[in-house]
Amino acid sequence: MTEPPAPDSPAGVSDGFGANAVAASSVVAGVVRRLRAAGCVFAEEEAALLIEAAGSDAELHELVERRAAGLPLEHILGWAEFAGLRIAVDPGVFVPRRRTELLVAEALPLLRPGSVVLDLCCGSGAVGTALAAGASGVRVYAADIDPAAVRSARRNLPDAADVFEGDLYDALPAELRGRFDVIVVNAPYVPSDAIATMPPEARLHEARVALDGGGDGLDVQRRVIAEARDWLSPTGRLLIETSEHQAPATAALFTAAGLHPHIRHDDDLDATVVMGGR
């Protein structure tokens, strides 16, 4: 997890008095105008973050132009806010979504000191990082197939050595088989045909492997669920984010794999998690 940016004086913003204050407010107004013209809905909030991040006027100009060109704000800043934490996110890596906080909320009550957790398809490692921050004495492992995601996760999780690169469970050391008390998964679940309808920020700036769940969106989930029993402890639980309309199909995959599924939905987050154990 990255530290919050140092509270230096941002570009063009000085001591908040007199002429400097006027100059500062005109910088803010100019940035807000540029972002709004480019279609940014939260122009004021984004302007404040970009001004805070920039070390000079020239850098601020460059950051604002990158944002106006459609780069995700989080890739420009190098971090995303998730579950109250600043999570490092490198370019191309999936930006953790607010809805995924449901996965964290459902997993946390299952954890005890000594619990062993796997964040599979970890991306930036946002979920595992939030679990490590929210539960004391847990050991969090993570894995992802995308080297850029693994690099981000290694910056966020408490122990970089616990982040593995590779295809699903193949990435993990064999001695972890049967050891996980909780496996949390936000695998790609967008059906291939629906990728074209996604917002350009996702479609153009996040890796295809982070989004594409195959024909019905469940290809990766199917493989995760089929092998989960081998990696869970006898009382372990598997928790998978899915969409509301895919949830019955995700739950059926749990049942087919010998796991008893429950579907949790949160209207506020527009989030759905299927969870279950033996």
Ligand X SMILES: C[S@@+](CC[C@H](N)C(=O)[O-])C[C@H]1O[C@@H](n2cnc3c(N)ncnc32)[C@H](O)[C@@H]1O
In the bound state with ligand X, the residue whose beta carbon lies nearer, of 123 and 236, is 123
Residue 72: half-sphere exposure toward Cβ, Cα within 13 Å: 24
Scanning 52-60, 70-78, 186-194, 225-233 for contacts with ligand X by CB under 6 A, the matching segment is 186-194
Is 40 a residue that touches ligand X (CB under 6 A)? no
Scanning 4-12, 52-60, 184-192, 230-238 for contacts with ligand X by CB under 6 A, the matching segment is 184-192
Contact mark string toward ligand X, 91..110, x via CB under 6 A = ---x-x---x----------
Instruction: Tell me which residue of 38, 27, 89 sits closest to 61, measured CA to CA.
Output: 27
Contacts 24+ apart (CB under 8 A), 86-89: 86/1, 86/2, 86/3, 86/4, 87/1, 87/2, 87/124, 87/125, 87/126, 87/129, 87/152, 87/156, 88/1, 88/2, 88/124, 88/152, 88/155, 88/156, 89/124, 89/152
Is 270 a residue that touches ligand X (CB under 6 A)? no
In the bound state with ligand X, the residue whose beta carbon lies nearer, of 35 and 111, is 111
Is 167 a residue that touches ligand X (CB under 6 A)? yes
Whole-number minimum distance, CB 34 to ligand X, in Å? 29
- Residue numbers at the binding site for ligand X (CB under 6 A): 94, 96, 100, 121-124, 126-127, 144-146, 149, 167-168, 186-188, 209-210, 220
